[in-house]
Structure 1
Amino acid sequence: MPYSYRLAAPALALLLAACTGGDSTSSTDSSTSTSSSTSTSSSTSTTAAESESSASSTSSGSSTSSTSSTSSSSSSSSSSSSSTGGGVEPSGSLVSIGDECLDVQEPQIVQECVEYSYDGVGALTLKHHNAAFNCCPEGVDAEFVITEDAVMITTTEAEGLCDCLCLFDLEYAVVDLAPGTYTIAVDGLYVPDGDPPLSADIDLVAEPAGTICADRSDYPWFLP
């Protein structure tokens, strides 16, 4: 004889609730697991992206630093090249002039001379003896033209206040003159016509010191 079971309504309700609750819990766990997995995956992906961004930033910074360093090095090289590109140009000046007119008779003065001395590294001293100027000169000076093979000096005066000529001793200085052979020439204001120029070709290495002279035939070098 078959049996039939009847569950009371409260018991049936509890059973249904238990079944439903189990499914809900399972669903919740599944959802939580999925969410956790998704979150973990997303977090991992974000971390990887951040790492990649950091690496890219580091690489970019390194590249920029390298470029900056290269640019700085190039600028320094250019500056160094520029600073060593050329030498100092030689120049000359009048150092002094005697304040008294020389006595042309005791002894008789018949020459104009330049005594030179070179120190071997750039300094050339020139002592100009018996240079003719007005007896009361104003604004005595010297102009220099210096080339790779010549040192040329031209004496000048702004004004002569007296009606006579006199002889004076002067001194010139040339700096930054490279060793070599030069034509040393001094062009005076009152050289008599026909007299030889005061000049000579001098090897400053072989002859670092000496005297150049030129004969003078007329006043003010000597009185007839």
Structure 2
Amino acid sequence: MRSSTQTVTEAATATIRERIERGEYPVGSVLPAQRQLSEELDISRAALREALSTLEALGMLTIRAGKGVYVQSAQALGGQAWRYAEQSSLPDTYQVRYALEGFAARMAALAMTDEVIESLESNMAQLHDALADGDLDAAAELDFAFHMTIVSMAGNGAIEAILRSSSEIMQESQRLPFYRRELLQSTYREHRAIVDALKARDAEAAGRSIEAHITAAAQRAGVHFPTPPREPAR
């Protein structure tokens, strides 16, 4: 069941998106001031900020603190185009995460401690609350911290350095799936499966769980890529 705030936010998102797509807000232009826009759309400033954040994640807007909100693209994010396209395509980003994090999770399971499990459990509780509240920025930060905790436990400095050096790209790839509102808590449920495997110190299950999570997250962001067939369990 959606809250009234979510319904209003989604309506505002759709309205602004339609105006961009039909050229009322052309690419390169600055949107009206948030105060004006919130009054025009008859929504709160908080709901408007969430709508603008959604459209930014879809690649249609760029929010520049203190300068305004600029129209970046007349088309919503598709599998090939997003704000970090010059550094790494979105499919490539998810595939790199699939390859590196699957290995890291298998290694982390072998070195896992009860203290780190407690940390992951705390992270998950905060993630659940952030998603329930619609705080997608906080959710993306918590998602990134969750994954990097596991990567750190793997003990492979090269993998950790690669992922941390691309932290903005990583977090954006983690944030995009949250905009499928009907699947908002999917990340939380998939993290649950990962933690359960880590608790059991089951390296193969941990690797498969995080690979399944990254594949599903990519699909929620509109990206589909082939993955190796799974071998039957022995």
The answer to whether the superposition gives a TM-score over 0.5 is: no
Which has the greater radius of gyration?
Answer: 1
More strand by share: 1
TM normalised by structure 2 equals 0.20
